Amino acid sequence: MIACLEQDKASSLDSLDEIRALSDDLNCVFEWHDGILVQAMERGALLLIDEISLANDSVLERLNSVFEQDRVLMVTEKSSQEAVKIVAHQKFNIVATMNPSGDFGKKELSPALRNRMTEIWVESYFSQDELLRLQQQSEPESTVLTQVADTVDLYLIVSKLAEDAGFPQ
């Protein structure tokens, strides 16, 4: 009988601890999960940020330290006890794209962020008149788009611009 009471008491204490742990989880504001930036930094992957100029300024400012020589991100949101320092893998790199500012919703990047990047300007391949002429052709749209896609090689355009700017191939 005494052994059963002690076992029930131990079981009750385990249940009480489990209830406390669940209660702590419920009181937690959020649970951290590493996003694509942290994952790419740790794995040494290439991160593509499309339309970077559309991101919130607070997000862009957090990227400044990633572009520094040390390539470090301090994550204070992961732990309430201490900041977590994430150092980028040697092969980690970022490519970002954006359209010129001036269009609706588009803005310039801060000078601090722009100074940490290499910019490559890619001119529009077609003039407005050429685009209108393509649109007005009587051929089905898919045929016109296929012809355009077959004649445009973005890789060659970017490679040529990079070569002209003096970047190693």
Q: Read off the pTM.
A: 0.56
pLDDT of residue 70 exceeding 60, the answer is: yes
**Domain chopping of the chain, boundaries:** 1-30, 32-119, 120-169
> 85-139: per-residue pLDDT in tens?
999 999 999 999 888 777 666 788 888 888 888 888 877 666 666 666 766 664 4
C-beta separation of 86 from 57 below 8 A: no
